[in-house]
Amino acid sequence: MNYRYHIVDVFSDTPFGGNQLAVLPDATGITTEGMQRIAREFNFAETTFVVPSESTEATCRVRIFTPRAEVAFAGHPTIGTACALVLGGHHGGKDVGDLVLEEGVGLVQVHVEKRGHSMTGMLTLKGPISQPGERPARDALARTLTVSPTEVIDGFFGSAGLPFCFARLASIESVDRAVIDKASWASHFASAWSPNLFFFSGELSNGSELYARMSAPALGIEEDPATGSACATLAGLLASSPNVEDSTFTLKVVQGVSMGRRSNITAVASKVAGQLVSVGVGGPTAYVSTGDIAVPECFVDVAAPAQ
């Protein structure tokens, strides 16, 4: 059976930059195993599958798969899916609007606007940021990233739906030079609070620009050109500090440069009466292509999908 798909590049306003995403705008009937096989076939960091939602508040339900596993939430697939639905004419032909996507973390609101041949999207996720009391050891981070211990300024964990281990390094050069030592990762992080490593450099203040890379070996992602959920989590963690006054805390994050897929990400966190009320992440999305993928009948449990 043939299913339509769209390919978009998220966090880039032109094709062939940012983070690639394949979106199946009507994946009705495809089994979970079929979705995983399709995600492995595209072999992007994530592939999304849009199916009807049972929630009256949701526009649709979105399932997100890496090449190895389904995840409850991720930033660039959420934004890219919303933008692809609008670009592909699946949102009533509207060029601007708010979509509510049901994901594993609950309902996620995405505001989208069409600008020429590209879109811009901003997701908002309400609720607290999860953070354990434990912290990753700086020497373990240094060995895993194969950098000098003096280049690791700090390390911490956090999650807005997808957990990350954050490592703040001394410079852009340190970030670019880092190489994941798989044996050290397996020893120190494979079973840690989060095995996903987001390493960056820059000042941790409102309005700062950070330079980042991300690797998630457990999810089959050697390196990610853009990691929206990590950026939103980081903004939320920083805004939650008692030293930060009520405000809209903003970070600009540049990622994917060393891969030749520069991504420009904006992360925000809203703090009211001393409490974090929401985090968000956004940026442009560029259209790349549309096509059909043939899905074997053994991975489809309905007679035929809607086209």
User: Is 46 tagged catalytic?
Assistant: yes
Q: Which amino acid does the sequence have at 3?
A: Y
Instruction: Tell me which residue has tokens 């890496």.
Output: 66
Pick from 7, 17, 80, 61: which is nearest to 38 by CA?
7
CA distance 256 to 30: 32
Report in angstroms the alpha-carbon separations of 32 from 86, 106, 196, 207, 214. 25, 19, 23, 41, 26
| Strand, helix or coil for residue 277 | strand
Pick from 8, 158, 165: which is nearest to 78 by CA?
8
Phi-psi region of 56 (alpha: psi -120 to 50; beta: other; left: phi over 0): alpha
Catalytic site residue from 33, 41, 46, 173: 46
CB 202 within 8 A of CB 210: yes
Catalytic residues: 46
